[in-house]
């Protein structure tokens, strides 16, 4: 780092390791929970015609109300809940952190989605992570104690959890919600692949909000996430949203593409079938342990995990190496791809252990 920026930068930011996205050109990309499905050919011409009418000389619609309606439909969200859109759900995590006061704390579980902690650092909030137990379940007594001790302002719970893939015990989460004056944020990034959701519980718990995203259902490139909560909560948080945070190309594209509810649901069903197949195939390999998943990825424990990761990478398949992460010794995470990608991956894993 040159002298100017080194002297200029906040010391705590200087100390952070940048969020690393590995290069993936020409690789089979099974590392980031993206959907393997491209836009259907039949839609492309119509989509381009729709885009041709866009007025890029104008600012976007300020609250993207047309797109909001499309999202209410796509995700069956009751009309009396409020919705706040973000440039990815990451932006909404940041917005929630910005709503906190100096000295406030964010609470989550470990291991979970790393952005909760990273954003806490950016915004100078305290962060506390309560370790999950051996089955990757919430340690409820430890969580309740942490709530008591730290009096958090925000509690993030990914449901299903990333990187472990499970949904936590519903009763434990309900007890957390009712034991705190914090806003409890259930991050349902993987809702399309899960058996359960807290969408129906928003009316019951005033301190509950949900995050969702279109990133894991086929549209990671759009950068579009949503927060769902009561109208009052959403109206208050909306003050912190930057004007025009959802650009016109995202609004128009999402509004067109997310109307294809049947296609999106069909693709999710394919991923669920592939998840079952991939899980059995991995489980059948001697020495591997696959964890149950409610998401579009699988976490598995493998002998010489880091070497397996390197072998896959050398052979053009990129997954996520968690083998040195706390509580995840020898664990790797693979995104469920299409049938061909999954087979290719399995063949390489078998080859490695032969």
Residues that bind ligand PLP (CB under 6 A): 33, 88-90, 113, 158, 162, 187, 189, 213, 215, 220, 225
Q: How does strand 331-335 pair with strand 297-301?
A: antiparallel
Burial group, residue 271, by CB count within 10 angstroms (0-12, 13-18, 19+):
buried
Shortest Å, Cβ 219 to ligand PLP: 9
Nearer to ligand PLP (CB atom), residue 152 or residue 225? 225
Nearer to ligand PLP (CB atom), residue 189 or residue 349? 189
- How far is residue 84's CA from residue 237's CA, in Å, rounded to a whole number? 8
DSSP state letters, 184-206: EEEE-TTGGG-S--SGGGTTT-T
Sheet containing 297-301: order of strands: 289-290, 297-301, 331-335, 320-321
- How far is residue 215's CA from residue 225's CA, in Å, rounded to a whole number? 8
Six-digit token pair at 338? 């299409």
Shortest Å, Cβ 351 to ligand PLP: 29
Nearer to ligand PLP (CB atom), residue 95 or residue 281? 95
Nearer to ligand PLP (CB atom), residue 94 or residue 248? 94
Shortest Å, Cβ 265 to ligand PLP: 19
Shortest Å, Cβ 95 to ligand PLP: 12
Shortest Å, Cβ 229 to ligand PLP: 16
Six-digit token pair at 164? 């472990």
Nearer to ligand PLP (CB atom), residue 27 or residue 114? 114
Backbone angles phi, psi at 192, to 5 degrees: -70, -15
Shortest Å, Cβ 92 to ligand PLP: 8
Shortest Å, Cβ 168 to ligand PLP: 13
Q: Is 320 helix (H, G, I), strand (E, B) or coil?
A: strand
For 269, residues 6+ apart whose C-beta sits below 8 A from its C-beta are: none
Nearer to ligand PLP (CB atom), residue 104 or residue 187? 187
Q: Which residue's Cβ lies closest to ligand PLP?
A: 88
For 99, residues 6+ apart whose C-beta sits below 8 A from its C-beta are: 237, 240
* Residues recorded for the chain: 354
Shortest Å, Cβ 192 to ligand PLP: 12
Q: How does strand 105-110 pair with strand 126-131?
A: parallel
Contact call for residues 11 and 220 (beta carbons, < 8 A):
no
Strand partners for 297: 335
- How far is residue 307's CA from residue 149's CA, in Å, rounded to a whole number? 41
Nearer to ligand PLP (CB atom), residue 153 or residue 216? 216
Shortest Å, Cβ 211 to ligand PLP: 7
- How far is residue 289's CA from residue 271's CA, in Å, rounded to a whole number? 20
Nearer to ligand PLP (CB atom), residue 162 or residue 342? 162
Nearer to ligand PLP (CB atom), residue 188 or residue 281? 188
């Amino acid at each position: 780092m040159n002298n100017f920026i080194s002297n200029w930068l906040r010391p705590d930011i200087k100390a952070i390791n940048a969020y690393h996205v590995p290069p993936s050109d020409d690789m089979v990309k099974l590392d980031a929970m993206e959907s393997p499905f491209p836009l259907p050919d039949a839609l492309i011409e119509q989509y381009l015609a729709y885009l041709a009418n866009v007025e890029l000389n104008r600012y976007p619609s300020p609250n993207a109300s047309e797109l909001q309606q499309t999202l209410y439909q796509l995700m069956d969200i009751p009309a009396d809940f409020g919705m706040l859109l973000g440039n990815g759900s990451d932006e909404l995590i940041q917005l929630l952190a910005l709503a906190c006061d100096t000295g406030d704390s964010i609470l989550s579980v470990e291991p979970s989605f790393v952005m909760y902690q990273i954003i806490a650092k950016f915004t100078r909030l305290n962060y506390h992570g309560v370790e999950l137990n051996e089955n990757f379940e919430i340690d409820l007594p430890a969580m309740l104690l942490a709530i008591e001790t730290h009096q958090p302002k925000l509690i993030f719970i990914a449901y299903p959890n990333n990187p472990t893939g499970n949904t936590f015990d519903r009763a434990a989460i309900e007890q957390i919600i009712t034991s705190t004056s914090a806003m409890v944020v259930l991050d349902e990034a993987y809702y399309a692949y899960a058996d359960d959701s807290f969408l129906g519980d928003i009316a019951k718990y005033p301190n509950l909000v949900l995050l969702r995203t279109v990133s894991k259902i086929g549209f990671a490139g759009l950068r579009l996430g949503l927060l769902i909560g009561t109208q009052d909560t959403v109206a208050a948080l909306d003050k912190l949203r930057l004007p025009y945070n959802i650009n016109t190309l995202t609004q128009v594209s999402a509004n067109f593409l997310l109307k294809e509810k049947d296609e999106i649901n069909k693709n999710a069903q394919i991923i669920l079938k592939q998840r079952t197949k991939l899980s059995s195939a991995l489980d059948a390999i001697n020495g591997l342990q696959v964890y149950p998943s409610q998401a579009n990825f699988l976490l598995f424990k493998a002998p010489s995990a880091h070497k397996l990761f390197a072998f896959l990478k050398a052979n053009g398949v990129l997954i996520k190496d968690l083998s040195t992460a706390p509580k995840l010794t020898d664990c790797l995470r693979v995104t469920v791809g299409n049938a061909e990608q999954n087979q290719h991956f399995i063949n390489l894993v078998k080859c490695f252990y032969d």
